A and B are shown apart, each in its own frame.
Chain A
């Protein structure tokens, strides 16, 4: 196998790779100029559809198909939102793209706006990324100066303004409609659907929300062609008509207990073991891995035995995980307690639950309190059943919440307990020898606070 040559991360390590001149030197903006001169918006939509590009933000929905949901012949305005509120734990690929190659992202954004006939694009940036903010703003300024943004771009008649919006650091703002609400200046409570954003999004106008990495892929598809893109990755499963395949390069964020953590570009379909061994230099300190998060904490857990699962859009689902997510792999070595892992995960989701839907608001906080009690040596085996029930009933998939954050909170609970139940039971029995078997309901309140 010939070593895969990074495309999306081409500019990493290049001196001044983030500047317009450097990007142009790598062939950047030539595809945009050709597209604006020769093609119609629909040609770009068809190109992206043909490439099989699936959204890189987590859900893996077909990007071209998403664009076709916009109403035809809409008088406008139509908005494009680029989701750069990258806050899934373990994920930092958008950051690399924005810091090291912002023009690649912008070219993709301009192409996507052209395809969707949007004349305004909003880049919703996570607050904690000041360097991305400066680099992107500088790149946008360069584009305006070079006539690549603004009125009548390159004489094509197409106009586009890009606004860089800095969020206020909340996980829920990465949810498609939470982002839209936040952009409108409201509390980022995800909206009920329908109407979907393609029909009624930002300011009640048709809106497309795409990820930063998706934008970079669009730029690369325009530069290198559909055939190049389709030559990478995993083709569609012929036995599964609902599998659209996983094509193209992907940025994998590798962190946790590995020797060389970092953001690595690889073809979709690389197995987790390959990623850890070939790119990450193996598990750190010569230890063995116990588990790994396949794509951000909300996707669940792989056991060490499942490391040969390919990290494409269909792979993690086959071993009971939620999906590929953001392809952020966090390796957990064999000296780490899964109880601690789950406690940390629950703490994150209890903190980040937006609090709109009852099952998620109360479920995330309850699961955290149970885990706090277990870690404090007062756990009972019955708690595992309660946790598992919370894990299986909370989320958009059982229908009990509006958005997918609850599914993301539920999956680590469900996976950790199903796959590591023995370790939980051992921990509870060891730390609570007197009470681990108690199944009585927790006694009623002892004190009621006075008014």
Chain B
């Protein structure tokens, strides 16, 4: 153990920990302002906002010797006996001067800047800056230019922290961004013909402490102070990045990565970042429907059914049909999957349960900074497989289900989907054509819904609550960010009601039951932390 004294308060840090002054002070509850330092990037110590006073306590005499000059907190490691002073007169003056210097060439166009409200320059100026402006200035311009298909650079707002430049060099490994010119004329830019178009490009917008880098997808869509955020998990691929879904009035405006040392650290990919637009697609299935009587040649249209009636008549339809086959989508949460399997078994105790279609695209894509985009484009294959195993149906996949149905072993099928992109072609869908009852639960119409007896809406990722288990068996529980559109019940709610359970659907209760009933989910018994738990580690323990 080592002790560090922050503003007179002594805190203990682990002997093996390599912390800088910013991290050590944070442990003591003191925030040292900083722009250029980021835990995921190399240290450049160039913004000089984190200048503090430090000293060393003599272990024998207890006498403190201070370093005469200010040092950058980001660059100064702490060791046993390090003294950090974050609030002295000298430090405050230095911060005020850095703030003043940064604002000399800044356009101060906060009213039309997207970053206003979550801007470090604003926040630090109110906290550490001075009210009086001493600099003599000419009228400003706020030039902007595209640096890539998703990112706009507002040149004059930049404070030259170079986080974005270091990100493209160290994490994405693509190195598109650079610093041009010198001194106060410095600018961030790309080389002509080499735009910022890597798959992690959106992260530079998150990294930007000011409004210099703007995300074209979010630009001018919403003031950030109207946004509410919910800790969610990205559904774009099997990596399961921790994210914040930022929304207002049940509309998602953007996704942001949420720091999680076990999964995505500080980053997320652009596929995930912009992969929420389907939530608000007008083509979504927005009501439960049962196909009316039609002729053999021309099936009737779907007639809307009230959800209260769905609960009863869906069960009746399926019970009447006989042998049931169920595809459990890897888009469902483990709680949804658990309830669905329970419902299926309560209808037909020999129901054939299998993993639904697992969408995939290309190969896993790794970046030098350690980030990997998975080829498997669904968030919960591992979780659903564990649930199926708990129901004695482990190892069965979508192909097994197709073969089962094609062989005529099923009279009814219930296919859960919820995929944001088209996923099934007509020949595959035709496998289900001879059934007496086909239930399809999906976001969008597909060749399969054309054959369906029941067409039920699915919930989007931000509209669900529950737990997903990623490719590394890391389970993350999350809450619902936005309400689904009117007329849509999240899957879990339907299954909960079909099981005749009382009260509102509560994923936490289901988790407790699963943890008690199934060893692989034992780790979910305690409320898992926001960063999730590794299911395998907990099993070994």
Known A-B contacts A355-B186, A359-B97, A399-B71; A449 and B47 likewise in contact (beta carbons under 8 Å): no
B94, A449: Cβ atoms closer than 8 Å: no
Q: A residues bordering B, Cβ < 8 Å? A: 170, 172, 187, 189, 192, 350-359, 361-366, 369-370, 373, 386, 389, 393, 397-402, 441-442, 444-449, 451
B144, A445: Cβ atoms closer than 8 Å: no
The contact string, 1 if C-beta is below 8 Å from chain A, for chain B 100-129, is: 011011011100100000000000000000
* A373 to chain B: closest residue by CB: B136
How far is it, in angstroms, between the C-alpha of A449 and the C-alpha of B140 when the chains are bound?
Answer: 5
Contacts of B515 in A (CB 8 A): none
Contacts of B183 in A (CB 8 A): 350-355, 361, 364-365
Q: Choose the segment among B38-46, B363-371, B384-392 that binds chain A (4+ C-beta atoms closer than 8 Å).
A: B38-46
Minimum CB–CB distance from A352 to chain B (whole Å) comes to 7
Interchain Cβ contacts under 8 Å between A and B, 12 examples: A187-B178, A350-B183, A357-B47, A358-B98, A361-B183, A362-B102, A373-B136, A401-B48, A441-B134, A448-B108, A448-B140, A449-B141
How far is it, in angstroms, between the C-alpha of A386 and the C-alpha of B144 when the chains are bound?
Answer: 32
B136, A369: Cβ atoms closer than 8 Å: yes
How far is it, in angstroms, between the C-alpha of A354 and the C-alpha of B144 when the chains are bound?
Answer: 23
A358, B49: Cβ atoms closer than 8 Å: yes
Across the interface, A364 reaches (CB within 8 A) one of B71, B107, B140, B184, namely B184
Minimum CB–CB distance from A387 to chain B (whole Å) comes to 11
How far is it, in angstroms, between the C-alpha of A399 and the C-alpha of B66 when the chains are bound?
Answer: 14
How far is it, in angstroms, between the C-alpha of A351 and the C-alpha of B178 when the chains are bound?
Answer: 19
Minimum CB–CB distance from A404 to chain B (whole Å) comes to 13
B139, A352: Cβ atoms closer than 8 Å: no
B182, A358: Cβ atoms closer than 8 Å: no
Q: Is B160 an interface residue (CB 8 A)?
A: yes
Contacts of B421 in A (CB 8 A): none
Q: Is B198 an interface residue (CB 8 A)?
A: no
Contacts of A350 in B (CB 8 A): 183-184
B184, A399: Cβ atoms closer than 8 Å: no
A402, B45: Cβ atoms closer than 8 Å: yes
A353, B184: Cβ atoms closer than 8 Å: yes
Contacts of A401 in B (CB 8 A): 48
Minimum CB–CB distance from B38 to chain A (whole Å) comes to 15
Contacts of A451 in B (CB 8 A): 109, 112, 142, 144
B184, A365: Cβ atoms closer than 8 Å: yes
Across the interface, A397 reaches (CB within 8 A) one of B69, B179, B186, namely B69
* B35 to chain A: closest residue by CB: A358
Across the interface, A448 reaches (CB within 8 A) one of B46, B104, B109, namely B109
Contacts of A373 in B (CB 8 A): 136
Across the interface, B104 reaches (CB within 8 A) one of A362, A398, A399, namely A362
Known A-B contacts A357-B46, A361-B183; A399 and B98 likewise in contact (beta carbons under 8 Å): no
Minimum CB–CB distance from B47 to chain A (whole Å) comes to 5
B182, A351: Cβ atoms closer than 8 Å: yes
Minimum CB–CB distance from B496 to chain A (whole Å) comes to 50
* B132 to chain A: closest residue by CB: A441
Contacts of A363 in B (CB 8 A): 101
| Interface residue range, chain B | 35 or more
B135, A355: Cβ atoms closer than 8 Å: no
Across the interface, B160 reaches (CB within 8 A) one of A361, A386, A397, A398, namely A361
The contact string, 1 if C-beta is below 8 Å from chain A, for chain B 220-242, is: 00000000000000000000000
B46, A447: Cβ atoms closer than 8 Å: no
Q: Is B133 an interface residue (CB 8 A)?
A: yes
Minimum CB–CB distance from A57 to chain B (whole Å) comes to 22
How far is it, in angstroms, between the C-alpha of A446 and the C-alpha of B140 when the chains are bound?
Answer: 9
Contacts of B141 in A (CB 8 A): 449
Minimum CB–CB distance from A180 to chain B (whole Å) comes to 15
Known A-B contacts A170-B182, A363-B101; A192 and B75 likewise in contact (beta carbons under 8 Å): yes
Q: Is B137 an interface residue (CB 8 A)?
A: yes
Minimum CB–CB distance from B162 to chain A (whole Å) comes to 8
B139, A192: Cβ atoms closer than 8 Å: no
Minimum CB–CB distance from A433 to chain B (whole Å) comes to 19
Kindly name the residue among A170, A445, A447 whose own CB sees the greatest number of chain B CB atoms within 10 A: A445
A356, B46: Cβ atoms closer than 8 Å: yes
How far is it, in angstroms, between the C-alpha of A448 and the C-alpha of B141 when the chains are bound?
Answer: 7
Q: Is B70 an interface residue (CB 8 A)?
A: yes
A361, B139: Cβ atoms closer than 8 Å: no
Q: B residues bordering A, Cβ < 8 Å? A: 43-49, 51, 69-72, 75, 93-94, 97-98, 101-102, 104-105, 107-109, 112, 132-137, 139-142, 144, 159-160, 178-179, 181-186
Contacts of B133 in A (CB 8 A): 441-442, 444
Known A-B contacts A356-B46, A358-B46, A451-B142; A399 and B134 likewise in contact (beta carbons under 8 Å): no
* B93 to chain A: closest residue by CB: A393
A361, B45: Cβ atoms closer than 8 Å: no
How far is it, in angstroms, between the C-alpha of A270 and the C-alpha of B159 when the chains are bound?
Answer: 46
Contacts of B109 in A (CB 8 A): 448, 451
Known A-B contacts A364-B183, A393-B97; A358 and B139 likewise in contact (beta carbons under 8 Å): no
Contacts of B160 in A (CB 8 A): 355-356, 358, 361
Contacts of A364 in B (CB 8 A): 183-184
A447, B139: Cβ atoms closer than 8 Å: yes
Contacts of B69 in A (CB 8 A): 397-399
A442, B134: Cβ atoms closer than 8 Å: yes
Contacts of A172 in B (CB 8 A): 182
B137, A359: Cβ atoms closer than 8 Å: no
How far is it, in angstroms, between the C-alpha of A268 and the C-alpha of B185 when the chains are bound?
Answer: 40
How far is it, in angstroms, between the C-alpha of A352 and the C-alpha of B182 when the chains are bound?
Answer: 7
Across the interface, A192 reaches (CB within 8 A) one of B44, B70, B102, B185, namely B44
B48, A358: Cβ atoms closer than 8 Å: yes
Contacts of B185 in A (CB 8 A): 355
Across the interface, A399 reaches (CB within 8 A) one of B51, B102, B108, namely B51
Across the interface, B134 reaches (CB within 8 A) one of A361, A386, A448, namely A386
* A172 to chain B: closest residue by CB: B182
Contacts of B70 in A (CB 8 A): 398-400
B101, A358: Cβ atoms closer than 8 Å: yes
How far is it, in angstroms, between the C-alpha of A393 and the C-alpha of B97 when the chains are bound?
Answer: 9
How far is it, in angstroms, between the C-alpha of A365 and the C-alpha of B159 when the chains are bound?
Answer: 14
Contacts of A398 in B (CB 8 A): 69-70
Minimum CB–CB distance from B108 to chain A (whole Å) comes to 7
Minimum CB–CB distance from B100 to chain A (whole Å) comes to 8
A359, B48: Cβ atoms closer than 8 Å: yes
B46, A402: Cβ atoms closer than 8 Å: yes
Contacts of B134 in A (CB 8 A): 386, 441-442
B101, A362: Cβ atoms closer than 8 Å: yes
A366, B44: Cβ atoms closer than 8 Å: no
* A441 to chain B: closest residue by CB: B132
Minimum CB–CB distance from A434 to chain B (whole Å) comes to 16
How far is it, in angstroms, between the C-alpha of A369 and the C-alpha of B159 when the chains are bound?
Answer: 19
How far is it, in angstroms, between the C-alpha of A366 and the C-alpha of B133 when the chains are bound?
Answer: 13
Contacts of A355 in B (CB 8 A): 160, 179, 181-186
Contacts of B93 in A (CB 8 A): 393
A365, B104: Cβ atoms closer than 8 Å: yes
Minimum CB–CB distance from B34 to chain A (whole Å) comes to 12
How far is it, in angstroms, between the C-alpha of A436 and the C-alpha of B98 when the chains are bound?
Answer: 27
How far is it, in angstroms, between the C-alpha of A370 and the C-alpha of B160 when the chains are bound?
Answer: 22
* A370 to chain B: closest residue by CB: B136
Contacts of A445 in B (CB 8 A): 108, 137, 139-140
The 10 lowest CB-CB distance pairs between A and B, nearest first, are A399-B69, A365-B184, A362-B101, A399-B70, A449-B141, A447-B139, A353-B183, A355-B186, A356-B46, A441-B132
B184, A361: Cβ atoms closer than 8 Å: yes
Kindly name the residue among A172, A353, A364, A399 whose own CB sees the greatest number of chain B CB atoms within 10 A: A399
